[in-house]
Structure 1
């Protein structure tokens, strides 16, 4: 099965793969990015490569799709985004994304997420997309709400990061709301 490359006005969304390991590591080793990521910052390129392989395996098993977010104008890797926990029979999945801080506030995350949602609801025929975010992650919460996500509730001690548990706010978007 060929990986579904996507395209927006300013971005290419292509499969996250080994050639992206340096940039992927650069993003996920940063405290400002991983502060609300749900995992500790990466310490090595080997860890980044292991995650990339995990995403490739998830795609092969049809339980996840992770795209590299690339600028069209320069073909520069600026982040990643995708869906995980895909349950095709149940018509649901979760969305997640990360972006290098140099590109925060540029609208790239919104643009990438819109295309991922279009693909998820259209091509995969999913009905529900969920998201879990730290309550203090105001940027991601604002983005998800602008996309039409609704807050559903608090998941107590959902994330374990930096040797402590953290609550997560769960949000969802239904296909009917997207259409």
Structure 2
């Protein structure tokens, strides 16, 4: 909890005592590697604060599954499209490594906004940070391959732990190109 508070203090400082009031609305869980947190046949109803580990966002296609994003510690992890629209899509969230998260359900989101006024304002700031980070990920597809690779390392500091196949999926580049770019680094 202290790690999350320290991270969120960069957005808005809230006393530790008030974080203790938030505790009943959160569920802390540890997940082993390769745990499906949200499958393509599920509707997302939880957002997660990632304390430790990596989580991948995978696009499920008929012929294969492609990694589209990696979430690192201090990220908010959620299939936001499914969460917002309360609909199924072709995306899955899967733990890439063993993970420790704090989970926050949609139902509790409403209760926190209603009952803990400081956290409503913090929630807006967290939402802005999520939007900004999402824009950085979307920017990848507008860059040339070398710039795309460099940009990915800036926005995903834990990329060294990601399989080359998944880096290829994120960058939408063939493995040969990504291998050449890795050698140049």
Q: Which has the higher contact order (CA 8 A, sep 6+)?
A: 2
More strand by share: 1
TM-score in terms of structure 2 length: 0.28
TM-score in terms of structure 1 length: 0.28
More helix by share: 2
